[in-house]
Amino acid sequence: MNDTLENIMKNSLQGCSQNCRIGQVIKDLAHADPAAVAVVSSKYNPLTYSQLAWQIDHVAYILGKSGLGDSARIAIAVKDTAPAALAIVAVACFSAAVPLDPNLAPAEIALRLKLLDVDAVLVLAGEQTVCGTLAKEQGIAMIEFAQKEHRDLLFSMSAPKIQSKIRLDDVPMDHVAVIFQTSGTSAEPKFVPCTHAGLLAAAKQAASWFGLDKKDRCLSIAPPYYSHGLTFTILAPLLSGGSVAFPSRLTDLNLSEWFEALNPTWYSTSPTIHLAISEKLSASSSGLTHRLRLAGSGGAPLPESVRSCLEQALGIPVLEHYGMTEASQITTNLPPPGPFKPGTVGIPPADTMMIATPDGKGLPSGQRGEIWVRGANVTTGYLNGHRLDQSAFVDGWFRTGDIGSFDEEGFLTLHGRIKELINRGGEKISPFEVEAAIMKHPAVEEAVAFALPHPRLGEDVGLALVLRPGAMLDIAEFRRFMSDSISWNKIPRRIHALESIPKGLGGKALRRKLRERYA
């Protein structure tokens, strides 16, 4: 009881050996301060650390009693965010939790259940989901949980007798806490095993970057089925002794609920949500009373106009960061007085990144190349992905597929993905560069550049954009505007005005869908 939260974090995370467990860190925090609040929600009663520790033990007991071991894979498909997050965390402390987005199409869920070969599916009692229906069709065991009382997040669980499957995987499954699917746009998902040690290392890094402690509360508005939502906005605050806040609905942009009633000190989300927040703040005549001290942004470039609007309206720094499913958060701009430079994603920790040529040679500052990363937070391979592993993991480095460059101060700038480069007659054009120029136009709210087939050049530049409400665009004037910032060969030849840009749940524009639509 005399241990401080800081000592618990230090003792639990130092070294992050393969024996580190996220459940033990949470229990240590509960032992130090049982009444400390771990989760708050607009729909449910607060959950304390002692209750969270009980929930973890209860889930472990039921799963063990059912016959499942710590190598079992348990899919969780729950619609309500707060119960989904609690179930994912509790399962991850014992077995391998497989968060499934209930908004996926039936064919997508069926494919994931088949490829992952899960042992069981965890569902909320009485809730009808596509995942539950498909699990029954595929003969997968069902585990149900039910909240103990009205407005209570604590739940009881029941499970039939289940025999764990025997698999021949390169990754020891008793070390795996969560299996994510990548949020990219490829036809077949890649599955990323995240170990306890890796998640603890990521949480320790986030706590160090932002100075997280028991006084901090993160507003979790990123879906918990993906890495950004779970590892950064749920696990990082919980493993730092702080708390997580869940709004009643992620789709309702209720700023009074989000920033005042739930009383967070920070949040992190996609540029799309930041844009919606900035527009609502600009349209509101009354100011918010809040205790926010920072906001994070990731998944796509954040327009400078959105960043400056948020900083002015909320009075906090808005910090762009860079991460991916395979490595959690990799680098970020830091709150004052730490290093910060708009338009970059900060300075990465020493010896964790290089800008490389295709054959793995490091490039000097100012030159663009592929971003290679390494560290305790980086996964060591995909599940059932030996072919992918051979190309993605080289001598301890993970090849991200992203293009970046360092400036003379060490700040990293992103220039898009290698696969998204537009190959116009042999010249590689970065969509990010085109979009950055176009977003300076006062009539443009969103812009996405993408490759279009061309009979002679192979590919040419296409553009999808969303205009600001009430704005009009003169195409001739718009082309002249673009020519002031980018060379003639990068100016989009075809421009499509849309009501909205197709995006994944992580906020990334789906360029492949745009190409398919307009090819």
Task: Using the predicted structure, report yes or no on whether residue 512 has a pLDDT greater than 90.
Answer: no
Average pLDDT over residues 123-135: 90
| Rounded distance between C-alpha atoms, residue 49 and residue 27, angstroms | 8
Bridge partners, residue 495, by sequence: 463
| Rounded distance between C-alpha atoms, residue 355 and residue 362, angstroms | 6
- Please enumerate in sequence order all residues whose Cβ is within 8 A of that of 395, keeping only pairs 6 or more positions apart, or say none: 360
- Predicted confidence (pLDDT) per residue in 218-257, tens digit: 999 999 999 999 999 999 999 999 999 999 988 889 999 9
Cis-peptide, bond into residue 337, ω within 30° of zero: yes
What is the band of 121 on the pLDDT scale with cuts at 50, 70, 90? very high
Helix axes 196-210, 22-32, angle to 10 degrees: 50
Helix axes 5-13, 22-32, angle to 10 degrees: 160
**Sign of the C-alpha dihedral computed for residues 315, 321, 324 and 328 taken in this order:** negative
Max avg pLDDT among 141-155, 273-287, 331-345: 331-345
Burial call 429-445: b when 16+ CB within 10 Å, e when fewer? bbbbbbbbbbbebeebb
Q: Give the number of other CB atoms < 10 A from CB of residue 284.
A: 12
Average pLDDT over residues 49-59: 97
Residue ranges and CATH numbers for the domains of the chain are 43-197 (3.40.50.980), 253-417 (3.40.50.12780), 421-518 (3.30.300.30)
What is the band of 432 on the pLDDT scale with cuts at 50, 70, 90? confident
pLDDT score at 505: 59
Task: Using the predicted structure, report yes or no on whether residue 20 has a pLDDT greater than 90.
Answer: no
Helix axes 22-32, 49-66, angle to 10 degrees: 140
**Sign of the C-alpha dihedral computed for residues 287, 289, 290 and 294 taken in this order:** positive
Q: Is 166 exposed, middle or buried (0-12, 13-18, 19+ CB in 10 A)?
A: exposed
Phi-psi category of 315—alpha, beta or left, where left has phi over 0 and alpha has psi -120 to 50?
left
| Rounded distance between C-alpha atoms, residue 68 and residue 163, angstroms | 6
| Rounded distance between C-alpha atoms, residue 39 and residue 49, angstroms | 8
Q: Which contacts qualify for 139-144: CB closer than 8 Å, 24 or more apart?
A: 140/75, 140/113, 143/62, 143/63, 143/66, 143/74
pLDDT score at 43: 93
For 164-223, the DSSP string reads PPP---SS-GGGEEEEEEP-S--SS--EEEEEHHHHHHHHHHHHHHHT--TT-EEE--S-
Contact indicator for 190, 182 with CB cutoff of 8 Å: yes
Distance of alpha carbon 411 from its chain centroid, rounded?
Answer: 21
Mean pLDDT lowest for which of 145-149, 241-245, 360-364, 459-463? 145-149
What is the band of 363 on the pLDDT scale with cuts at 50, 70, 90? very high
